[in-house]
Amino acid sequence: MTRPALTSNSKKVLKERYLLRNRKRKIIETPDQLFRRVAKAIADNRKQEKEFYEAMSSLEFMPNSLTLMNAGTEISQLSACFVLPLKDSLIDIYETLKQAALIHQTG
């Protein structure tokens, strides 16, 4: 299957935001390796991994930013949006603040 070519802008965004870097900030993966890393981390089995990889590499589907950045890494946070309950007492407000801080800590 012929893959659609990434535009120069797409490559620039991937390099600036999503491709893994080493401790010296040098890029250590290609766009194809990014798609494979994410697919492997997300899939429940090899068939799903292949399907997810195919969807990304064909540009039919692209997951959210945190999934592209964090899937298959030590940072486990893949969700970009959270809704937390907020009750009307000082103790509950601080409990919600604690939950928000713990979520933020994960990436």
Give the pLDDT confidence of 67-81 residue by residue, as tens digits: 999 999 988 788 888
In angstroms, what CA-CA distances link 49 with 33, 57, 59, 66, 93? Answer: 13, 12, 15, 18, 41
Percent of the chain with pLDDT over 90: 79
Whole-number pLDDT of residue 79: 86
Residue 57 inside a domain? The answer is: yes
What average pLDDT score do residues 45-57 get?
95
Residue 30 has pLDDT above 60, yes or no: yes
What average pLDDT score do residues 79-93 get?
91
Residue 31 inside a domain? The answer is: yes
Could you tell me the pTM of the whole model? 0.78
Read out DSSP for 37-81?
HHHHHH-SSHHHHHHHHHHHHTTS----HHHHHHTTSS-----S-
Q: Does one domain contain both 27 and 41?
A: yes
Q: Does one domain contain both 49 and 27?
A: yes
36 and 86 in contact (C-beta within 8 Å)?
Answer: no
- 1: pLDDT confidence band, cut at 50, 70 and 90? low
Domain count, the chain: 2
Q: Does one domain contain both 43 and 15?
A: yes
39 and 49 in contact (C-beta within 8 Å)?
Answer: yes
**Residue position matching structure tokens 């195919």:** 54
Q: Does one domain contain both 40 and 62?
A: yes
Residue 47 inside a domain? The answer is: yes
Whole-number pLDDT of residue 2: 53
